[in-house]
Amino acid sequence: QKEVEQDPGPLSVPEGAIVSLNCTYSNSAFQYFMWYRQYSRKGPELLMYTYSSGNKEDGRFTAQVDKSSKYISLFIRDSQPSDSATYLCAKRGSGGSNYKLTFGKGTLLTVNP
Amino acid sequence: GAGVSQSPSNKVTEKGKDVELRCDPISGHTALYWYRQRLGQGLEFLIYFQGNSAPDKSGLPSDRFSAERTGESVSTLTIQRTQQEDSAVYLCASSRGLAGVDTQYFGPGTRLTVL
């Protein structure tokens, strides 16, 4: 089983919709998770970072970690065409390898005007 | 300020040739990373440099891959005797090298195509 699994989509929604993006992870010891956004032909940029469990909100974006089910989610409210991108979940390594990020395959999102 | 830059942006080469990819990190960032992104796959960690410490090369897929970094600046990733399966986007990232949350900032990548 891969450490982080992500449904690649693609996902297409109308403008204004609530978007839910999800990943699962294999080891309940994982604690640090990130969501990156990658526009076409660009490098990924960090959207949100969460530690352990619970919710973290930043504007229209909410990141959620459910440790009991080993599930991480990113919700986008009032989605905009400018949100169209690939969204990558990632987990940070532990101990002496905490610099090492492991990514899911990414979910391609299109928000239609 | 300037972000991470990579060159070339695109590289087409023939199977068996050597290629060299360049990364200029953000000024002052002591940590530098290389990742590979193959079509339909997630980013794969390749190598990590932190200051003058020995690099973590654990992600390099074969001995045809090598990387160097000059001090805390430019890094080059070299692929010898390229194979078609090396075709991918090679991404470089840099960070401040902090002990806690240490955000990695990515460059735009070099798209490598091996014919």
- pLDDT for position B1: 57
Q: Which of A34, A91, A101 to mutate to test the interface with B (most CBs of B within 10 A)?
A: A101
Q: How many helices (H) and strands (E) does chain A have?
A: 0, 11
Residues in A touching B45 (Cβ below 8 Å): 100-102
Kindly tell me the burial class for residue A49, based on how many C-beta atoms sit within 10 Å of its own C-beta (0-12, 13-18, 19 or more): middle
Partner B contacted by A4 (CB < 8 A): yes
Element of type H or E holding B63: none
Identify the residue whose tokens are 């009032």: A78
Which tokens sit at A101? Answer: 């990020």
CB–CB contact A8 B33 (8 Å) = no
Quick one: pLDDT at residue B12? 98
- Note whether A88 contacts B33, CB cutoff 8 Å: no
Compute the distance between CA of residue A46 and CA of residue A56 in angstroms, rounded to an integer.
14
**Which residues of B lie inside 8 Å of A (Cβ-Cβ)?**
4, 31, 33, 40-45, 48, 50, 56, 59, 91, 93, 95, 101-109
Query: Scanning every residue of chain A, which has its alpha carbon at the shortest distance from the alpha carbon of B56?
Result: A97
* CB-based contact A63:A35 (threshold 8 Å): yes
pLDDT tens digit sequence for A81-109? 999 999 999 998 887 888 899 999 999 99
Q: How far apart are CA B113 and CA B50, in angstroms?
A: 29
Note if the bond before A81 is cis, omega within 30 degrees.
Answer: no
Residues of B in contact with A91 (CB under 8 A): none
- Report which DSSP code applies to A18: -
Half-sphere exposure of B24 (CA within 13 A, CB side): 8
With beta carbons less than 8 A apart as the criterion, state whether A98 and A87 touch: no
% of chain B at pLDDT higher than 70? 99
* Mean pLDDT computed over every residue of chain A: 92
pLDDT at A19 over 80: yes
How sure is the predictor about B40, in pLDDT bands with cuts at 50, 70 and 90? Answer: confident
Residue A96 contacts B, CB cutoff 8 Å: no
Q: Are A49 and B101 in contact (CB under 8 A)?
A: yes
- Residue A43 to residue B93, Cβ atoms within 8 A: yes
CB-CB neighbors (< 8 A) of A43 in chain B: 4, 91, 93, 106-109
pLDDT tens-digit map of B43-63:
999 999 998 888 999 999 999
Q: Any residues with CB less than 8 A from the CB of A96 and at least 6 apart, and which? A: none
Q: How far is B13 from chain A (nearest CA, A)?
A: 20
User: What does the pLDDT look like over B6-15, one tens digit per residue?
Assistant: 999 999 999 9
Neighbours of A33 (CB within 10 A): 24
